[in-house]
Amino acid sequence: MTRPRAVDGPRLPAPRAESGPVLELRAAAARRGGRTLWSGVELTVREGEFTAVLGPNGAGKSTLVKMLLGAAPVAAGEVRVLGARPGQANHRIGYLPQRRSFDASMRIRGIDVVRLGLDGDRWGVPLPFGGPRHRDARQRVAEAVELVGASAYAHRPIGQCSGGEQQRLLIAQALVRRPQLLLLDEPLDSLDLSHQGGVAALIGRICHQEGVAVVMVAHDVNPILHHLDQVLYLAEGGSAGGTPEEVITSATLTRLYGTRVEVLRASDGRLVVVGRPETTGGGHGALR
């Protein structure tokens, strides 16, 4: 044994240069088309914290993600991402956009899609064989695929993988550069119930064991409820942040919607929101 130190605990994340919060929003606001989507948002996300962004459709949840990537302007307040302005640290962020799937005609292997996440933005042609860099890259891709448990189907054309398998491969793609922050936009949306639980558990594990901060836009809080550290609820009337127990309550949601809303807890711990006015929701509920 040359490295006795390796036994002193679970696998540690790569050492971080800075110890400040991964994400910091102070009185932040977003506008789209002259309309204020949300304002006065306060949020601090630290390393290894799992944060869900909830709210009705059209509340600007995806806009928040785009803002953190520097692709949408900050209308007011201050936003710091990994200690820098939004858009300055994108190479340290893993991003999973909304509703992305590959149809059966996509003849490219899952492992190639993961590899694109590692060096797809480099110009020029990679040398086909050899080189330590080539080996490192392959190993890093294999590690990321292993981490999400996708080794069995990573060599298949991604179009032939199921929705859940594709989502795991895309998470591997987002993770392959060892990001410090994962931004996930409704990653469970297109999955059936059994896969939702598996992918949610995977994200929770990556967050808490690998120390990656996760900000996840969610449509339905229930599959991720017991992995969450905090919740940011966006609605037209304002926003609320805190632990799920603090935020997802009748009182808070009633205040956000401006009308009487009741939160019920089912016997299995699932949350049900009753009396949410359709006018603010536009069809789907943030909680079901």
Contact 187, 156 (CB under 8 A): no
- Cα 192-150-23 angle, rounded to 5 deg: 80
Q: How far is the CB of 170 from another protein (least distance, A)?
A: 8
Sheet holding 23-32, edge to edge: 35-45, 23-32, 76-81
CA-to-CA distance for 72 and 87, rounded, in angstroms? 10
CA-to-CA distance for 191 and 196, rounded, in angstroms? 6
CA-to-CA distance for 259 and 104, rounded, in angstroms? 45
Contact 150, 169 (CB under 8 A): yes
Per-residue interface string for the shown chain with another protein, residues 183-222, x marking contact by CB under 8 A: ----------------------------------------
Report the residue from 46, 156, 205, 208 that binds another protein according to the rule CB under 8 A.
156
**Total residues at the site for another protein (CB under 8 A)?**
33
174 touches another protein (CB under 8 A): yes
Question: What residues numbered 67-96 form the site for another protein, per CB under 8 A?
Answer: 69, 71, 90-91, 93, 95-96
Q: Determine how many CB atoms are found less than 10 A away from the CB of residue 98.
A: 15
The piece of 11-19, 24-32, 38-46, 155-163 that touches another protein (CB under 8 A) is: 155-163
- Closest CB to another protein among residues 116, 271: 116
Q: How far is the CB of 134 from another protein (least distance, A)?
A: 12
Q: How far is the CB of 84 from another protein (least distance, A)?
A: 14
DSSP at 109: B
Distances (CA, A) of 212 to 15, 118, 222, 231: 12, 17, 21, 17
Contact 221, 270 (CB under 8 A): no
Report the residue from 32, 138, 155, 284 that binds another protein according to the rule CB under 8 A.
155
Question: What residues numbered 100-139 form the site for another protein, per CB under 8 A?
Answer: 100, 106-109, 112-113, 116-117, 119-126, 128
- Paired tokens of 260: 């009487």
CA-to-CA distance for 231 and 221, rounded, in angstroms? 9
Q: How far is the CB of 130 from another protein (least distance, A)?
A: 14
- Closest CB to another protein among residues 5, 91: 91
163 touches another protein (CB under 8 A): no
97 touches another protein (CB under 8 A): yes
Per-residue interface string for the shown chain with another protein, residues 10-49, x marking contact by CB under 8 A: ----------------------------------------
For residue 104, the SS3 value is coil
Helical segments of 3-127, H only: 61-68, 110-119
Contact footprint for another protein (CB under 8 A)? 69, 71, 90-91, 93, 95-97, 100, 106-109, 112-113, 116-117, 119-126, 128, 153, 155-157, 160, 173-174
